[in-house]
Chains A and B, each alone.
Chain A
Amino acid sequence: MTAPDAAGTAPILEIEGLEVRHGAVPAVRGASLDVGAGEIVGLIGANGAGKSTTLLTVMGAHRPHGGEVRFRGEALARRRTEDIVRSGIALVPEGRHIFGDLTVAENLRLGLAGRRSRNGVDDLIDWIHELFPVVWEFRSRHAGALSGGQQQQLAIARGLLAGPDLLLLDEPSLGLAPSVVHSLWGVLDEIRSRGVTILLVEQRAQVTIELAARTYVMHNGEIRAVLGPGDAADTERISNAYFGA
């Protein structure tokens, strides 16, 4: 199976030659990737490969030392995180970063902070209600009391309330049972079908490759391979790219 071409549709997010350092240590080294509008794109790699740093750089939380990040053709360099959220990108961070002392409803209200306008909020809330009935049911509980899977649902629901065009998900399956991951993947597909583009960062290689239109494999800060859904069974190729062989 050959690597699929870059975004078939017009790219909504373009990362070109991205360089990020943590102090003197290079974390991302010349990484380039495209995410087309309406796609689910995967970015996989082992711990420390530079995946989360890439996402946080897109969000303006890290300053790149080189390269460029463009959203809808506009460079994001030097823009503040909160302005990037308002421009239409939401990140569901690794470890969920739920506010455990706040209620589920308060966590959801915080998701509205990143909206450009209140238009369409009611429809969005109805949709989230359908998508994550458990989150809605427990809305008056403290978020810290939810299970890991429920917290992940809350984190995604909160991200969606910002009304993003592009949703960045950082290891949403972390710590979840395989059956929960399976239903989570179904939810991601539904989110995409509503027109929200997804960049999915994961360590679970095979299931990500199956789901995504295209999956970039990152190792040691570099993109080592681009795989399509048909490559999901090619374990040798996946592990070679994943472990940098």
Chain B
Amino acid sequence: MDVLQTLINGTALGAVYALVAVGLALIFGVMRLINFAHGELITAGGYTLALASAFPTVAAIALAVVVCVALAWLMERVAFRRLRNAAPATTLVATFAVAFTLQAIWLIAFGPQGESADVLTSLNRTAISGELSLRWITIVMLVTGAILLGGTILLLNRTTIGLQMRAAAADFRAARLLGVRADRVISVAFVIAGVMAAAVAVLLTVPRPLVTPTFGLEVVILTLVGVVVGGMDRLWSATCGGFAIGFAIAVLGDVLPSSERVFLPSAVFLLVIVVLVLRPGGLFAPRRPATVERV
């Protein structure tokens, strides 16, 4: 039962990290932009929940979604749209700039101690007890992850804008030459990333309600590692990579004795190094030896 317990907890956290990965991979797909500022969307969602904790739960969650989507849209409109044709290094630095600017704003506005977002703390209660003990939040993480990932797949595969996003991810210029509107495709990618960030903020504030200025950054750095390990150039491989890192964190957290938990990040990164040495193109990416540049 212990193994099953660990696997379920790992899958639940994996689902949350997969949602972060989807946000990162969708934007990377259409803009070839590694959005470090994605974490700030999650932090913004966390602070919104903290500030709206007096509101009814549904209203607080809805407000978090609105804030995250609006901030994502604004990020693209103000900062990234002008850099669409810039060199990858320029856009990467720009995402750092946006991330650090927003972190400074969080620090000035809310201070370093953090705010408590206890909107859904009731979900920490046990849902199933006995040999297998599950908290409600574990179930909610699994269900939310399944719904949002399923929704993204349906959007990409069953709608015109989804088809255009897949085409733009494969070859943006060719898509534009067919009349695909670049602005619309990119805006939709950012809006979806905003929705994912809001969901992640809601889910993560349940087990750890304290929202600090680096609340989202920590999650995004770990997910980015997962996304790189999975393979950044495809949505499904990036998502699997995000899932794998969340799963690994939860499983290692369960397996390591509590006195050794400080080594959790080291253990995760060691795993990443091993994977990248064995599969430089990514764990889930197809083997393409010619694309690996040796310096």
Residues of A in contact with B (beta carbons under 8 Å apart): 59, 61, 80-82, 85-86, 90-91, 93, 97, 99-102, 106, 109-111, 113-115, 158-159, 162
Once A86-B179, A114-B179 are accepted as A-B contacts, the answer to whether A106 and B170 lie under 8 Å apart by CB is no
Q: Which residues of B contact A111 (CB under 8 A)?
A: 178
Are B171 and A97 within 8 A (Cβ)?
yes
Are the CB atoms of B166 and A82 closer together than 8 Å?
no
Contacts of A97 in B (CB 8 A): 171, 173-174, 177
Contact of B178 among A61, A100, A162 (CB under 8 A): A162
Q: Which residues of B contact A86 (CB under 8 A)?
A: 179
A109 surroundings in chain B (CB, below 8 A) = 160, 163
Interface residues of B in 208-236 (CB under 8 A from A): none
Complex Cα distance A85/B173, Å? 13
Residues of A within 8 A of B180 (CB): 82, 110, 113-114
A61-B173, A158-B178 known, 17 other contacts, Cβ within 8 Å:
A81-B176, A82-B180, A93-B177, A97-B171, A97-B174, A99-B170, A100-B170, A101-B170, A102-B166, A102-B170, A106-B166, A109-B163, A110-B164, A110-B178, A110-B180, A113-B179, A159-B178
CA distance A85 to B180 in the complex (A): 9
Contacts of B149 in A (CB 8 A): none
Chain A residues lying within 8 Å of B176, measured Cβ to Cβ, are 61, 81-82
A85 to B174, CA, bound (A): 12
Q: Is the CB of A81 within 8 A of B177?
A: yes
Chain A residues near B174: list those with CB within 8 A.
Answer: 93, 97, 99
| B179 and A82 within 8 A (CB) | yes
Residues from chain B with a CB closer than 8 A to the CB of A61 are: 173, 176-177
The CA of A86 and the CA of B180, in the complex, are separated in Å by 10
Quick one: which of B154-213 are within 8 Å of A by CB? 160, 163-164, 166-167, 170-171, 173-182
Asked if B179 contacts A99 (CB within 8 A), the reply is: no
> With contacts A97-B174, A99-B174 known, is A82 near B181, CB below 8 A?
yes
Interface residues, chain B, CB within 8 Å of chain A? 160, 163-164, 166-167, 170-171, 173-182
CA distance A100 to B174 in the complex (A): 12
A91 in contact with B177 given A97-B171, A99-B171 (CB within 8 Å): yes
- Please, could you name 28 A-B residue pairs with CB atoms under 8 Å apart, sorted by A? A59-B177, A61-B173, A61-B177, A80-B182, A81-B177, A82-B176, A82-B180, A85-B177, A85-B178, A93-B177, A97-B177, A99-B166, A99-B170, A99-B174, A100-B170, A101-B166, A101-B170, A102-B163, A102-B166, A102-B170, A109-B163, A110-B167, A110-B178, A111-B178, A113-B164, A113-B178, A113-B180, A114-B178
Q: Which 6 pairs show the lowest CB-CB distances between chains A and B? A: A114-B179, A85-B179, A97-B174, A113-B179, A81-B176, A113-B180
The answer to whether B167 touches A99 (Cβ under 8 A) is yes
Asked if A110 and B177 make an inter-chain contact with CB atoms under 8 angstroms apart, the answer reads no
In the assembled complex, the CB of A54 is this many whole angstroms from the nearest CB of chain B, namely 15
A100, A102, A106, A162: the one within 8 Å of B179 (CB): A162
Nearest residue (CB) in B for A164 is: B179
Q: Considering the chains assembled together, what is the distance between the CA atoms of A59 and B175 in angstroms?
A: 13
Complex interface: chain B residues within 8 A of A85 (CB)? 177-179
Q: Are A82 and B182 in contact (CB under 8 A)?
A: yes
Q: How far is the CA of A100 from the CA of B170 in the complex (A)?
A: 9
Output the least CB separation between B244 and chain A (Å). 23
B160 and chain A: residue at smallest CB distance = A109
Residues of A within 8 A of B177 (CB): 59, 61, 81, 85, 91, 93, 97
Chain B residues, Cβ within 8 Å of A81:
176-177
- Alpha-carbon separation in the docked complex, A159 to B179 (Å): 10
Once the chains are docked, how many angstroms separate the CA of A177 from the CA of B253?
61
Point out the residue from B173, B175, B182 that lies within 8 Å of A110, measured CB to CB.
Answer: B175
Task: Tell me the minimal C-beta distance from A58 to chain B in angstroms.
Answer: 11
Enumerate chain B residues within 8 angstroms of A101, measured Cβ to Cβ: 166, 170
In whole Å, how far is B182's beta carbon from the nearest beta carbon of chain A? Answer: 7
- Give Cα A91–Cα B171 distance, bound, in whole angstroms: 15
The CA-CA distance from A120 to B175 in the complex, in Å, is: 23
Q: Which B residues are in CB contact (< 8 Å) with A93?
A: 174, 177
* Contact assessment for B170 and A115 in the assembled complex, using a CB-CB cutoff below 8 Å: no
Which of B160, B167, B173, B181 contacts A102 (CB under 8 A)? B167
* CB of A107 to closest CB in B, whole Å: 8
Shortest C-beta distance, A184 to chain B (Å), equals 20
> How distant is the Cα of A137 from the Cα of B282 in the complex, in angstroms?
36
What is the distance, in angstroms, from B185's C-beta to the closest C-beta of chain A? 10
Residue of B nearest to A92 (CB): B177
**Cβ of B160: which chain A residues have Cβ within 8 Å of it?**
109, 113
In the bound assembly, the distance between CA atoms of A24 and B170 in angstroms comes to: 29
Bound complex: CA of A110 vs CA of B163, how far in Å?
7
Closest to A55 in B: B177
